Chains A and B, each alone.
Chain A
Amino acid sequence: MHGNRFRYNILTALLLAPATAWLVVFLVLPFVAIAVFSVGERAPEGGYQAAFTLAQYANLPARATAFWNTMMLAPVGALACLLVAYPVAYYLALKAPQRWRLILLALVVIPFWTSLLMRTYAWMYILGGRGIPALLAFVGIEDVRLINTPGAVLLGIVYGYLPLMILPIYVSLERLDRRLLEASADLGATPLSTFLGVTLKLSLPGVMTGFSLVMILLLGEYLIPTLLGGGKVFFIGNALVDLFLQSRNWPFGSAIAITLVAVSVVVLIAANRISTRVSGARRVDLI
């Protein structure tokens, strides 16, 4: 009995070893390195120099605008994605003919096979002066400027992150017990109140998963605002790129990165709490 338990533990440890090693090498060690950097000093030629100081953290207010912009962009971007994604997921899961479903799902995922950078560059040309504005000029609407506007950034974000929002919602709607919809109708509910009281409510875990997923990724986003927004609005992602690559102030960059991770964890926990409360017992297990 005792021996069995021991053998079982060894087996478990062996099975978990690859994943543990992966986590340690690619998550824990880099994180420790960044944490060590963040209490260091910038070397005179740039980079990192060993020290122990909290000066970098005290300096965080110097990037307050970047934090603020990011905190605004992430929920707004995620909400915009949600508004577009929900109807699509709803159609895919509940309305689309069975034989089309797989093809339509593939169409959602296929753009992900190309790098986001390439696809965003394509949007630069579509929104730029030789794209849609040229077509508009052809029908007499002159001097329309689409590129480097907040609208272009939002469009790029919705386009880039849509599949991440559609898939979890699709999964939760797909698992929906259709008999509940019937029961709701039999009991006299209108289609709208069935949707609000049954469909939407039961799909909330998927919505929260998609929402937190997109929001966490948006916290580090800088490519789309740079390419489609003209780099005029400064996000944490931009601040990090500048600090590591241009001014080569690794300790300050590390302090910002650590703070961003801390903020992301708080966001996740909050999302978990909200989702548990709203949807009853089902939890979103992201962390």
Chain B
Amino acid sequence: MSKSYRDGLPISPENFVDQLMRLKRGSIGRRDFLGLTGLGIATAVMARELGIMPTPAFAAENLGDRMSIATWPNYHDPQTFENFKKDTGVAIEVNVFGSNEEMLAKLQAGASGWSLFVPTNYTISTYKKLGIIDPLDMAKLPNFDSSQEDPRFTSEGTIDGTTYAVPKNWGTTGFAVNTKKLAKPMTSWKEFWDVAMAEGDGRTMVHDYQLTTIGNALKYHGYSFNSLKQDELAKAEELLLKVKPHLFAVSSDYQPGMRAGDAWMTMCWTNDGAQLHRDIPEIAYVLGKEGGEIWTDFYAIPKDAPNKPAGYALLNYLMTPEVAVKEHLANGAPSTDARVNKLLPKEVLDNPILYPAADLLTPLEFGAAATLTDPGRAELMARFKSA
């Protein structure tokens, strides 16, 4: 009865029984009524001709009037959600989170209420293992084109050939420096830590996050960002304990401190680095030449999502290159999608914060799921913070 892209596709058994039982109960939605009586086709055709309905898919499926998305701070163009609401009538509630672990805890506890969320690469295998996300029905995402994606950034969303998540954007973890206060040019994590104990004394911030803070301390000695080796972690701990008394703060909320001039140097993610540099040009973004972290944030749909049709509709909408371009301009992180890159202004593509040189990108590592959940690293972080 639907008039969407799924027309002509065989109806799934679950779907069929679902529909049948619903009709037997005498429950019929407004859109179903239109579909069953044929009024819907007439309306949809009229609407499309008159330009009222943007795409036929929205006329066909019952999207409800609200859905909820879990995502990161300063991560979307608010206009995107406004436009989506205008097109579909679905109001979007945005839940902002501070860490992947918080998202995981909320989802694992059940009834999160989200129909879409934004996990980072290293958590997707865990979500799959715990069975709390759905494999994506790619037929519902015609605006996503995997042939236009760079697998270097997006492969972690696909496990054993099944796609569980599609990419939002990628980025790196480097550090931001106020060059008016710390004029000496820096290029490495070794310099970051050394300066933190010298010229940057009392003015340096590190993340309140074991993955990046321990990972980048490991880079001081040139070890892997994901190392779980006892002796290497011991060396990283030694460095962190030595730096601790010199720090301004242990916090992942570093924009206020940097903007106010209280902090002069901080560990920093691409999008924050781009935003800081855009507003305060003397703040530079540096990638350690030893390597460090590269990451991709994905979109995924929870298994217990209360409004999957709207979740898919919004995801499909966000995959439209014209929409994604505005998102990237607002949030400042680079895109994984070649179609989007074609639409971005030249100065964005030429911005080395967003699109670093290949020799800086090559040594970067994706955080591993094992690194994130390792109890040993968690305890190391606790010892660092309580020192």
Residues of A within 8 A of B (CB): 42, 44-47, 62-63, 65-66, 69, 124-125, 128-131, 133, 145, 147-148, 226, 230-232, 234, 238-239, 242, 244-249
The prevalent SS among residues of A at the interface is loop
* B101 A230 Cβ-Cβ under 8 A: no
The answer to whether A46 and B373 touch (CB under 8 A), given A130-B260, A232-B247, A247-B378, is yes
* A148 B249 Cβ-Cβ under 8 A: yes
* B386 A245 Cβ-Cβ under 8 A: no
CB distance from A137 to the nearest CB of B (A): 10
Q: Name the CB-closest residue of A to B260.
A: A129
The answer to whether A129 and B378 touch (CB under 8 A), given A45-B373, A231-B251, A248-B104, is no
CB distance from A149 to the nearest CB of B (A): 10
Question: B105 at the A/B interface (Cβ < 8 Å)?
Answer: yes
Among B129, B209, B244, B249, max chain A CB count under 10 A is at: B249
The prevalent SS among residues of B at the interface is helix
What 1/0 mask marks residues of chain B from 249 to 286 whose CB sits below 8 Å from any chain A CB?
11100001101111000000000000000000000000
CB distance from A62 to the nearest CB of B (A): 7
* B244 A148 Cβ-Cβ under 8 A: no
What 1/0 mask marks residues of chain B from 346 to 387 whose CB sits below 8 Å from any chain A CB?
000000000000000000000000000101001101110111
Which residues of B123-156 have CB atoms within 8 Å of chain A's CB atoms?
Answer: 126, 129-130
Q: Name the CB-closest residue of B to A235.
A: B386
* A42 B385 Cβ-Cβ under 8 A: no
Offer 29 A-B interface pairs, CB within 8 angstroms, sorted by A: A42-B375, A45-B130, A47-B105, A62-B379, A62-B382, A62-B383, A63-B382, A63-B386, A69-B386, A125-B260, A129-B262, A130-B259, A130-B260, A131-B260, A133-B262, A148-B248, A148-B249, A148-B257, A148-B262, A230-B247, A230-B249, A231-B249, A231-B251, A238-B385, A242-B378, A245-B99, A245-B105, A247-B210, A247-B378
User: Contacts of A65 on B, CB cut-off 8 Å?
Assistant: 386-387
* A45 B381 Cβ-Cβ under 8 A: no
Complex Cα–Cα for A23 and B251 (A): 37
* A145 B262 Cβ-Cβ under 8 A: yes
CB distance from B101 to the nearest CB of A (A): 5
User: Contacts of B375 on A, CB cut-off 8 Å?
Assistant: 42, 247, 249
User: Contacts of A125 on B, CB cut-off 8 Å?
Assistant: 256, 260
Question: B108 at the A/B interface (Cβ < 8 Å)?
Answer: yes
Which 7 residue pairs across A and B have the least CB separation, nearest first?
A230-B249, A247-B378, A129-B260, A234-B386, A65-B386, A129-B261, A128-B260
CB distance from B160 to the nearest CB of A (A): 18
CB distance from A147 to the nearest CB of B (A): 6
User: Contacts of B208 on A, CB cut-off 8 Å?
Assistant: 231
The answer to whether A147 and B373 touch (CB under 8 A), given A245-B105, A246-B101, is no
Residues of B within 8 A of A (CB): 99, 101-102, 104-105, 108, 126, 129-130, 202, 205, 208-210, 244, 247-251, 256-257, 259-262, 373, 375, 378-379, 381-383, 385-387
User: Contacts of A66 on B, CB cut-off 8 Å?
Assistant: 386
Q: Name the CB-closest residue of B to A238.
A: B385
CB distance from B60 to the nearest CB of A (A): 39
Q: Given contact pairs A46-B101, A246-B210, enumerate 4 new A-B contacts (beta carbons under 8 Å).
A: A232-B250, A239-B386, A242-B382, A246-B101
The answer to whether A232 and B104 touch (CB under 8 A), given A129-B261, A247-B378, A249-B375, is no
Complex Cα–Cα for A245 and B387 (A): 21
* B385 A130 Cβ-Cβ under 8 A: no
Among A46, A63, A124, A234, max chain B CB count under 10 A is at: A46
Complex Cα–Cα for A81 and B200 (A): 34
Complex Cα–Cα for A148 and B101 (A): 26
* A230 B251 Cβ-Cβ under 8 A: yes
Among A65, A125, A232, A249, max chain B CB count under 10 A is at: A232
Q: Name the CB-closest residue of A to B208.
A: A231
Among A128, A131, A238, A247, max chain B CB count under 10 A is at: A247
Q: Name the CB-closest residue of A to B373.
A: A46
* A128 B382 Cβ-Cβ under 8 A: no
User: Contacts of A248 on B, CB cut-off 8 Å?
Assistant: 101, 104-105, 373
Complex Cα–Cα for A77 and B36 (A): 69
Complex Cα–Cα for A247 and B108 (A): 14
Which one of A45, A62, A133, A145 contacts B202 once the chains associate, using CB atoms below 8 Å? A145
Which one of B209, B244, B259, B378 contacts A249 once the chains associate, using CB atoms below 8 Å? B378
Complex Cα–Cα for A98 and B213 (A): 57
User: Contacts of A247 on B, CB cut-off 8 Å?
Assistant: 101, 210, 375, 378-379, 381-382
* B256 A47 Cβ-Cβ under 8 A: no
* A230 B248 Cβ-Cβ under 8 A: yes
* A45 B385 Cβ-Cβ under 8 A: no
User: Contacts of B108 on A, CB cut-off 8 Å?
Assistant: 47
* A128 B378 Cβ-Cβ under 8 A: no
Complex Cα–Cα for A131 and B260 (A): 9
Complex Cα–Cα for A249 and B382 (A): 12
User: Contacts of A244 on B, CB cut-off 8 Å?
Assistant: 105
User: Contacts of A249 on B, CB cut-off 8 Å?
Assistant: 375, 378
